[in-house]
Copies of this chain bind each other. A is one copy, B any other.
Amino acid sequence: MPVATTRITVNAKTYQLPTQATVIVCVDGCEPDYLAQAVATGHMPWLKGALARGTGLVADCVVPSFTNPNNLSIVTGVPPSVHGICGNYLYDTATNTEVMMNDPKWLRAPTILAALADAGKSVAVVTAKDKLRALLGHHMKGICFSSEKADQATVETNGITDVVQLVGKPVPSVYSADLSEFVFAAGVRLMQVHKPDVMYLSTTDYIQHKHAPGTAGANAFYTMMDGYLGQLDAMGCVIALTADHGMNPKVAMDGTPDVVYLQDWFDAWLGAAAARVILPITDPYVVHHGALGSFATVYLPQACDVAAACAKLQAVKGMEVVLTREQAAERFELPADRIGDLVVVSERFTVIGTSKSRHDLSALEVPLRSHGGISEQRVPLIVNRSLPGLDTARRFRNFDAFELALNYAQ
């Protein structure tokens, strides 16, 4: 009789199999100050206790500080240089097209979730938007569905059906805080009914794009979250909470978005469409940010001097750092073959657009808040357990969440 496996190795990192129900939560756009302000003003009683009893760290997310690269980093335990997902959107040089990066064909590494399932653990994944579902659930046996398409979940595709009945809530609008509440509500019901060994919950940043830390709109969201996490804690779960990225206001003093239109800038310099500016924040759901974030990649015409382009662009106001492909691949641990000749990061209050005519900002109901840059790299990494033996002086990443939950908290 074979000895039961007690650990797995995924992407060259070793994880203990869980002995307690373990929940990893990725709170989209959760700048740590959201938690700080909410806890300070009594809006998160569970978290206040969890931080006192457990472990509260601040970690660095992956740059570009976008949803897809960071969710995939968390579930693979490694940066985009290994797993390949370096944006929500990319320019596919093989086909000369710009495409969404939601298809698992772009994924170059197995997930910890799939490996846990293969090792015999029951796994459940709930994500707010369906765009992430296929990537998170790639090659994974178990439950995997989105709030957005909860009513369409089938046993064959999602490992579960009748989700709406299970959760007892209607399918929410894709532009709502309810989309995230559905994730938490589903997580609690799954833990009550299906009792998965490992659960991954991933929300959407609808609220964070609209409401600053400490405001009523933000505090209401975090109070909601606090209640559900308290329920999971009361069931005995190990909970590790992190975020895909932070969030900052991105407006000039006149209240309008502070945008550098980079395609227009290159067109004026090199001629129309000579360079190709890619905004990896681009996704089908742009109403709350108008596809404006603090990160862009640029494909330059062959004759263009890359170093000269770097220097010229660095001098533009609002640019935090401009790197060559090689520099960016090294500094941000990105796949060099998918990021263009230049990587451009704008400052905390500035976003990058393509051409002015291509961004419809009419849907922005409140002053722009967005992400993508180094200024949104700080994220929480909180575990509701003390973590004996952990070197707290090391640099933490959001993609250490599984390591902390499985190797230190059990």
Bound complex: CA A101 to CA B58 (Å): 36
Q: Lowest 3 CB-CB distances: which A-B pairs, in order?
A: A40-B255, A40-B367, A39-B255
Provide the residues of chain B in CB contact with A213, threshold 8 Å.
Answer: 212, 249
State which residues 1-39 of A face B: CB under 8 Å: 32-33, 35-37, 39
Chain A positions 337 through 356: 1 when the CB is less than 8 Å from some CB of chain B, otherwise 0: 00000000000010000000
State how many residues of chain A have any CB contact under 8 Å with chain B.
Answer: 34
Q: Min CB distance, A141 to chain B, in Å? A: 35
Which residue on B lies nearest to A366, using beta carbons?
A: B40
Provide the residues of chain B in CB contact with A367, threshold 8 Å.
Answer: 36-37, 40-41, 214
Copies in the complex: 2
The answer, yes or no, to whether A215 is at the interface (CB within 8 Å) is yes
The answer, yes or no, to whether A251 is at the interface (CB within 8 Å) is yes
Task: Select which of B32, B41, B251, B317 is within 8 A of A37 by beta carbon.
Answer: B251
The answer, yes or no, to whether A234 is at the interface (CB within 8 Å) is no
Can you list 27 pairs linking A and B with CB atoms under 8 Å apart?
Answer: A32-B253, A32-B349, A33-B251, A36-B249, A36-B253, A36-B255, A36-B349, A37-B251, A37-B367, A39-B253, A39-B254, A39-B255, A40-B251, A40-B255, A40-B256, A40-B366, A41-B367, A48-B254, A48-B255, A51-B254, A58-B253, A212-B213, A214-B215, A214-B249, A214-B367, A253-B380, A253-B382
Provide the residues of chain B in CB contact with A212, threshold 8 Å.
Answer: 212-214
State which residues 34-93 of A face B: CB under 8 Å: 35-37, 39-41, 47-48, 51-52, 56, 58
Q: Min CB distance, A152 to chain B, in Å? A: 37
**Residue in A33, A39, A249, A378 whose Cβ sees the most chain B Cβ within 10 Å:** A33
Chain A positions 207 through 219: 1 when the CB is less than 8 Å from some CB of chain B, otherwise 0: 0000011110000
- Interface residue ranges, A against B (CB under 8 Å): 32-33, 35-37, 39-41, 47-48, 51-52, 56, 58, 212-215, 249, 251-256, 315, 317, 349, 366-367, 378, 380, 382, 393
**If the complex has contacts A40-B367, A349-B378, A367-B40, are A35 and B215 also in contact, measured as CB distance less than 8 A?**
no
Residue contact B214 to A56, C-beta cutoff 8 Å: no
Bound complex: CA A366 to CA B41 (Å): 8
Task: Select which of B37, B51, B252 is within 8 A of A249 by beta carbon.
Answer: B37
Provide the residues of chain B in CB contact with A315, threshold 8 Å.
Answer: 393
Which residue on B lies nearest to A254, using beta carbons?
A: B51
Bound complex: CA A56 to CA B58 (Å): 35
Residue contact A56 to B215, C-beta cutoff 8 Å: no
Provide the residues of chain B in CB contact with A215, threshold 8 Å.
Answer: 214-215
Which residue on B lies nearest to A249, using beta carbons?
A: B33
Bound complex: CA A253 to CA B36 (Å): 4
Bound complex: CA A243 to CA B143 (Å): 54
Task: Select which of B33, B254, B393 is within 8 A of A52 by beta carbon.
Answer: B254
Beyond A212-B212, A315-B393, A349-B378, list 13 extra A-B contacts (CB 8 Å). A32-B349, A33-B251, A33-B349, A36-B249, A37-B255, A40-B256, A40-B366, A56-B254, A58-B253, A212-B214, A214-B215, A253-B382, A317-B393
